[in-house]
Every structure is written in C-alpha cells, then in structure tokens.
Amino acid sequence: MNRYSEAIDLLYSCNAFVYRNLTAITLFTSTVLPQRLRCIRLLRLEWIFQDYAIDYPYGTSAAYSEPVHASFDGRWEALWELFSTRMTGLRDLYVRLEGDFRYGPTAWEERIFGPMQRMKGPRTLEVEVNWMPRVDLTGLSQVKVVSSTSKGQHWED
C-alpha cells in the first residue's frame, strides 16, 4: 500500500473544513470522492447574505458575501441533504449566518431553518445568526441556535 492510500483518510478526518460561502462548499463537495466526504469530522460554514437577494437575482455582493440567486432553495436544501446523507462521519457542524438586512428577517427564515429540521448525524450542530429569529424553532431541538449581533467576526482558519 502506498503512503497516499495510508494517509488520505487522515487528511479528511483530522482537519477542520471552513467555507465562507455556498459556492465554495458546493464546488468542494462536488469534486471529492464520496468515501472522503464520509471521513470529514468537522465543518464550519460561514455565510453572509443579503435578504433581498434571496428572492432577487441581482443583489450587490459585499466582502465574503454572495448574492443568492433564484436557485437558493435548491442549493440550500441540497447542502443540508448532503450533510445528512453523504457526510455521514460529520461529528461537529458549525454554521454562522450573517444577514445584511434591508427589509428585516421575514418569511424566508423558514426557508433558512427548514432544512435543518431534517438534519441527522452530528453530535454538535450549532447555528449562529446575527438577528433574533422570528420563526418557531421548536422543531430544531437537535440544533443549538445562538443569536449574536457581533458582525464582522470570522472563525480562525
């Protein structure tokens, strides 16, 4: 057995994977072999978004941000489905959502939190948001939702 084969699982299982937008994590997971995705133990996703861009395709992008185009629901649902079904070794999942609100949190919150209700697997699933959620989060008993107004802070790489 060569050294690559002996060590590759360690590369995926012993490192923290940190993504700062949906595009990056989508591209990464589409290029990694399924058996390697199953080895990932720790993942952090930080997503800064504009509320008006969730439904409208031509929002202006800020630093570390991306406008969310019309396929938002499909991309977001697919990501949570991937966490549940293809990243079965995932033990710790931390998500930071930072909204750039022009109109305030509204009905789109259900679209943000909805896919999390079906999440199974990680022993730790923590979601930090920079607003006070207005939707009923009782269906998210396995998810620790933390509200924070500290904008501009990012995880250490």
Query: For residue 106, is it within any domain?
Result: yes
Query: For residue 62, is it within any domain?
Result: yes
Domain count along the chain: 1
Residue 109 Cα to chain centre, angstroms: 14
What is the Cα–Cα distance from 21 to 19, expressed in whole angstroms? 6
What is the extent of the structural domain holding 57? 3-147
Q: List, for residues 18-77, the tens digit of each pLDDT value.
A: 998 888 898 999 999 999 999 999 999 998 776 555 554 444 444 444 544 446 778 888
Q: List, for residues 125-140, the tens digit of each pLDDT value.
A: 999 988 888 777 777 7
**CA 133 to each of CA 66, 99, 111, 152: distance values in angstroms, whole numbers, following the listed order:** 21, 11, 12, 19
113 — pLDDT class (breaks 50, 70, 90): confident
Query: For residue 154, is it within any domain?
Result: no
Which residue has tokens 């080895």? 39
| Arithmetic mean of pLDDT, 89-94 | 94
Query: For residue 63, is it within any domain?
Result: yes
